[in-house]
Amino acid sequence: MSRAAINDNGRMSFRVRPEQKAILMRAAAIKKTGLTDFVLQNALQAAERVIEAAERVQLSERDSLRVLDLLENPPAPNAKLRAAAAALPPLR
């Protein structure tokens, strides 16, 4: 079960195995940056990719064309839609 971050001091801590830390330190040195900056920058990039993938809908070409066609040529409203529209309060 994940825990929500409740501390607002801007600090995070986590444990890594010595061999993992050595890899991170080597990569940070290659990039000529500090370990914290290296880990933070790469973690943020990974987080942005995860969020983008979760929030973006990718359609096939066929589905994209179908959506465009429906936008240009919407189907006639059915009885349920007409009833729902009729039940709406009037606009002010």
Confidence of residue 50 (pLDDT cuts 50, 70, 90): very high
Place of tokens 């942005």: 48
Q: Measured between alpha carbons, how far is 56 from 49 in angstroms, rounded to an integer?
A: 10
In the prediction, which pLDDT does 79 show?
96
Q: What is the mean pLDDT of the chain?
A: 92
Q: Write the pLDDT tens digit of every residue in 4-20.
A: 656 577 888 999 999 99
Interior CA angle at 26 toward 31 and 37, to 5°?
50
